[in-house]
Homo-oligomer: A and B are copies of this chain.
Amino acid sequence: MKKASIKDIAKHLNVSVPTVSLVMNGRGDEKRISKETQERILKYAQEQNYKPNIFAKGLKKGRSEMLGVIIPNISDVFYARIVSRIEKDAAKHGYTVIFSSSQESGKKESELIRSMFDRQVEGLIIASSQKNADDILALKKINFPFVLVDRHYPDIETDYVIVDNIGGVKSAVNHLVKCGAQRIGFISLKPELDAIKNRFLGYQQGLEDNEMEYISEYVQELKSDTFEEEMSDALDCLLQKHTAVDAIIFSTHYLTTCGIRELRSRNLIIPNDIKIVSFDQFKAFDLLEPPITVVTQPVLDMGDRAVDILLEKLRLKDKVTRQEVLNTGFIVRKSCGEIK
């Protein structure tokens, strides 16, 4: 567990430093180092538990064998699971991952990109705050390998892996209609992220497909940092006496939990008084009374695909961009009642 340098090895075996280096890098045959010498070197290196100094190697080769991952927030399970998958996949290919959270701040994200760049990561995987088009453009300009996950910039052509938000919400609308919903509300966030915009589009298109009227009062958009205070008013709007909705789609898991708390405090019974669907999975949703019907996102696949694409980019060094839109899943539970 202590440090033997290539010099120590060379000295001890009476060979030159380059000879050791070549053999250790499997270039012994190519450089016609005799089998015998090769074996001596390999054996002794093994004994000494020799590991090349990563800084020396990085300095010479300009390669770090590190990938950077930037996400909004590691304590959100959603991102934690993506990262866990990325780390596992990257390790399989000899890459170490360093990650950092941007806290949804464009400025922090920008700093992180630069800092990772300075640390010579070979590629980046970014779930962007979407407030940082400048850096994304800069990365693209210098042809630095990166892949966006979950969040992308629709106006910038990049590699990305995202989820079919439109389709996901449409499937929720369709299911609610089948269960007899007539007036479907939509509680979402201020449409700062493309993903959120698309969930709204999915809602609209879902209504259209089912020949239902779009009523703007049925849509409530809360701020992501104060939704807990705003939820009550939002529900008031949706539940006004004469035109009360009989179903609600929540566009994120935390809106769902927050909304359920509020509905409970109004003594509304799910699904009798109101049916609900959550876009985005949360672990205990099956434990609630009633269990909550959800649109699920293919979290692990996103991690896998992002790494695949990044590694391919690293290998081919091409300028082709690869885009993937993954399908959502749907788990029917009791929060929408029965299909009629």
Which A residues fall within an 8 A CB radius of B? Answer: 1-2, 51, 53-56, 58-59, 64, 66, 73-75, 77, 80-81, 83-84, 87-88, 91, 96-101, 114-115, 117-120, 138, 142, 257, 260-261, 282-289
Contacts and interface: CB of A to CB of B under 8 A. Distances in A.
Contacts of A53: 59, 120
A262 to B, nearest CB: 11
A293 to B, nearest CB: 16
A74 B74 CA distance: 9
A54 B55 CA distance: 8
Contact of A77 (B77, B118, B286): B77
B120 A257 contact: no
Contacts of A117: 1
A87 B97 CA distance: 13
A118 B87 contact: no
Given A1-B114, A74-B80, 12 more contacts: A1-B117, A1-B142, A59-B59, A74-B87, A75-B84, A87-B101, A96-B98, A97-B98, A97-B100, A98-B98, A261-B287, A288-B289
B59 A120 contact: no
Given A98-B98, A282-B284, A54 B120 contact: yes
A292 to B, nearest CB: 10
Nearest to A119: B54
Contacts of A88: 101
Contact of A87 (B100, B142, B261, B286): B100
